[in-house]
């Protein structure tokens, strides 16, 4: 694939918009000559990881649900120049996905890369869909359906089975944290990542919903404490935001601290559904989507990156969303 620099964003964004125009009446993406957004085109729900000494971003292809039938990925060695990897996963590679593929989450295990995803936007247990899993030998795929069916397909504890986040605990236990409709569950995955097993307390679908939770979870460990993050507010509106809580373990309980990412009416609106990237340099970044000023279509979302910092007590400081983004942070 040909690398895409952020300074080449404008040209590619116009091309992406022109290609999308044949599929949708949405306007072509017009990028200002800035550093944020970092990816060309409409993308959302970015998951950032480091695999094989490269930064990777796995976003949702932001389009009407009936057109949202594939996933792309982007890789970089420096957070500035990004290489696109197109259609790493497609709905047509499954027998059960018919619409609305979104919110990918990827982990590496035993020589495989596992991609968890939402599909079909089911509204009840009577429908086919939920959270699926695909796998590949390379972080760029192609990913093939692993189970031939959803991994989670029921509304346990009232949680819509969407927005999976695959969390690997420092003890190497693999969890899946997920949920919409203002409920969040955590499950322990079995060794093959084909199903769930009971937690140590005997529960299976354990609800860990914090105050204000809507969707889009993320978790990381810092200095022995578990930071549980999520999005709140409506994803189609300007007040989408990210909040967090802290606990002593992945199952909680968690104490809400507050919001750390939200809109700035002078920069962009609808800032949310994020991931956190801990670079070997020691810097921490938040990768998220937002809506450019003047855009009203709910699918007009772009991926951005800004630095995330902590105070002396380990609390996350409010993130300043910028046009400038971040500088080079080279993986060596």
Spatial separation of the C-alpha atoms in residues 127 and 4, rounded to whole Å: 40
Q: Give the CA angle between residues 247, 251, 253 to the nearest 5°.
A: 45
pLDDT for residue 245: 98
pLDDT in tens, 121-153: 999 999 999 999 999 999 999 999 999 999 999
Q: With a cut of 70, which residues of the chain have pLDDT below it?
A: 1-34
What are residue 317's phi and psi, to 5 degrees? Answer: -80, 150
CB 97 within 8 A of CB 91: yes
Return the domain boundaries, the chain: 4-307
Determine the Cα–Cα distance for residues 298 and 131; give it in Å rounded to an integer: 22
d(CA 188, CA 329): 34
Residue 34: the pLDDT is 53
Residues 6+ apart with CB under 8 A from 104: 45, 47, 58, 59, 60, 71, 89, 115, 116, 117
Active-site positions?
45, 215
4-307: CATH topology is Tachylectin-2; Chain A (2.115.10)
Other beta carbons within 10 angstroms of residue 243's beta carbon come to 24
- Furthest CA-CA distance within the chain: 54
Q: Which residue, chain included where needed, has tokens 């070997």?
A: 280
Chain centre to alpha carbon of residue 122? 19
At 158 the pLDDT is 98
- CB atoms closer than 10 angstroms to residue 13: 20
């Amino acid at each position: 694939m040909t690398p895409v620099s952020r300074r080449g964003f404008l040209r590619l964004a116009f091309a992406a918009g022109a290609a999308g125009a044949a599929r949708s009446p949405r306007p072509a993406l017009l990028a200002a000559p800035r550093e944020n957004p970092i990816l060309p085109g409409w993308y959302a729900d970015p998951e950032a990881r480091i695999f094989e000494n490269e930064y990777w971003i796995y976003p949702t292809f932001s389009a009407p649900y009936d057109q949202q039938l594939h996933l792309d990925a982007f890789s970089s060695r420096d957070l500035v120049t990004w290489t696109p990897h197109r259609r790493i996963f497609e709905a047509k590679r499954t027998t059960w996905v018919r619409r609305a593929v979104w919110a990918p989450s990827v982990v590496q295990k035993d020589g495989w890369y596992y991609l968890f995803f939402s599909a079909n936007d089911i509204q009840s247990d009577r429908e086919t869909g939920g959270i699926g899993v695909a796998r590949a030998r390379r972080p760029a795929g192609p990913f093939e359906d692993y189970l031939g069916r959803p991994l989670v397909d029921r509304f346990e504890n009232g949680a819509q089975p969407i927005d999976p986040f695959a969390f690997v605990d420092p003890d190497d236990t693999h969890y899946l944290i997920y949920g919409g409709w203002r409920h969040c569950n955590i499950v322990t995955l079995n060794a093959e990542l084909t199903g769930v097993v009971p937690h140590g307390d005997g529960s299976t679908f354990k609800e860990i919903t914090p105050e204000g939770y809507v969707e889009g979870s993320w978790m990381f460990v810092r200095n022995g404490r578990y930071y549980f993050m999520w999005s709140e507010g409506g994803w189609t509106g300007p007040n989408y935001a990210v909040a967090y809580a802290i606990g002593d373990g992945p199952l909680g309980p968690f104490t809400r601290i507050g919001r750390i990412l939200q809109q700035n009416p002078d920069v962009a609106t609808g800032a949310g559904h994020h991931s956190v990237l801990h670079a070997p340099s020691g810097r921490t970044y938040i990768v998220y989507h937002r809506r450019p000023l003047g855009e009203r279509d709910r699918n007009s979302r772009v991926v951005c990156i800004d630095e995330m910092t902590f105070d002396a007590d380990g609390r996350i400081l409010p993130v300043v969303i910028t046009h400038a983004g971040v500088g080079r942070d080279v993986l060596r």
